[in-house]
Amino acid sequence: MQFDYMYDQIISFTNLLKAYYKARRSKRFKRRLQKIEIDFEDRLINICYQLKNQSYQPKKYHRFLVFEPKKRQISAPAFIDRIIHHAILIVIEPLFDKLFIPSSFACQKNKGTHSGMLYIARRYGKLIKKYEILYALKCDIKQYFANIEHNALFELLSKVITCPKTLWLLKLIIDSYKDSPGKGIPIGNLTSQLFANIYLHELDLYVTKYLKVQYYFRYMDDFLVLSHDIEPLKKLREKIKLFLSEKLYLSLHPKKVNIFRADRGLDFVGYCIKPDGISMRKKTLRRYKKRHKKRIKLLEKSKMQLKKYKTYSQLPLFTTSKLNDEVKYELEEKIRKQKEKLRASRNSFKGFLRYSKHKKLATGGVKVNGIIIPKIFSRKKISSKQLTIFQFR
């Protein structure tokens, strides 16, 4: 049942304050945010006022490119807009989380890469014991975020949300960005993650409820179907292609629609799932190794700069000044940030290692899927035969 006071919940000061704390997470030490911190309560009151009289207008997006794992344009909203996005999701996200099918994983609470991989691995393990030959249909949608139809998305939101003011705000956010007339949602918006899941939820229902497909899994716009017979997968591919085109105005990526033997192994959500266990994908490992070594190199370079600076500052002819103290502080601050990034990166990688076959090395490195990643663990005596293997439960 939909409540009329949904919009009042979104714009309440308590909810906006909670949204502010979420939006500033891991960003408190940034200069821009520190300026906002000085009078954040006044700013929240101003946001509340703008939303109350419906005079709020989203600001321009900050657009930039990232090149890993491939070239993407990220459109980041202003910090004030991010607060509003968090405020919206706090209220509406629980309504949609109840609707999503169990085998959909991206951008949901307690559902992510690891939970998706474990879910798929367990079902894969059961099928591989039952059938000698196993096939998989793996698909990807062509330029998914750029091709989401605004009107179609708004209709899907309207099926669950009936509060007129909330719908007005959602429509405002949807129409604040476009890749082509009436199409596209920004990669970088918090709301885009929920919108993208809602949009493809129609495909989930079509495949699982209408076509009664049992082994269907989706992670954002990548989806996978397992079967012991290849013919049903060929027919399913055509049905999905037609449904996406007619109902959601989307198309499958011509180079990323494959039917293949899955009993030898399955590559999905960054892992290689095999009958004898799980390991991280080589492509992912190589990419991480490149970034990791670059971070280590930058940190060592910064430490050398600080060491040289301290040596010169101790010389009799080198006069200490306020400027020298500032340089020293900047170098120390730079090293601190680099260490934080490196530590966060290592911890994240260790999280992936929990479910992957790997071998710890005495040097502190780790060998995964034939690739050695240096300086992940602290140096200590480790048996050369020490091996951690994930097994199907």
Q: Work out the average pLDDT over 252-279.
A: 89
In this prediction, residues 312-324 reach a mean pLDDT of: 53
Q: What is the pLDDT of residue 193?
A: 92
pLDDT tens column, 222-251: 999 999 999 999 999 999 999 999 999 999
Give the tokens for residue 73: 């344009």
Beta bridge partners, 260, equal 136
Please tell me the distance from the alpha carbon of residue 48 to that of residue 92, in angstroms, as a whole number: 18
Q: Which residues contact 84 (CB under 8 A, 6 or more apart)?
A: 19, 47, 51, 56, 169, 173
End-to-end CA distance of the chain: 39
- Residue pLDDT, tens place only, 1-33: 445 689 999 999 999 999 988 988 876 666 666
* 157 compared with 188, residue with greater pLDDT: 157
How far does CA 183 lie from the centroid of its chain?
22
- The answer, yes or no, to whether residue 315 has pLDDT greater than 70, is no
pLDDT value at 363 more than 90: no
Alpha carbons within 13 A on the beta-carbon side of 229: 5
**Residue 271 banded pLDDT, cuts 50, 70, 90:** confident
Task: Look at the alpha carbons of 199, 200, 203, 205 in this order and tell me if their dihedral is positive or negative.
Answer: negative
pLDDT exceeding 90 applies to what percent of the chain? 53
Alpha-carbon distance 281 to 367, whole Å? 13
DSSP letter at 358 equals B
Q: What pLDDT is attached to residue 387? A: 45
- Within 8 A by CB and 6+ apart from 146, the residues are 179, 180, 183, 184
Burial 58-94 (b: 16+ CB within 10 A, else e): beebeeeeeeeeeeeeebebebbbbbbbbbbbbbbbe
Q: How high does pLDDT run on average in the chain?
A: 86
Q: Which two tokens stand for residue 36?
A: 């906002």
HEC string for 61-73? CEEEEECCCCCEE
Q: How many whole angstroms from its chain centre is CA 147?
A: 19
pLDDT band (50, 70, 90) for residue 390:
very low
Per-position DSSP letters for 16-29, written without gaps between them: HHHHHHHHTTTTTT
Indicate whether 318 pLDDT > 70.
no
Q: What integer pLDDT is reported at residue 238 of this predicted model? A: 95
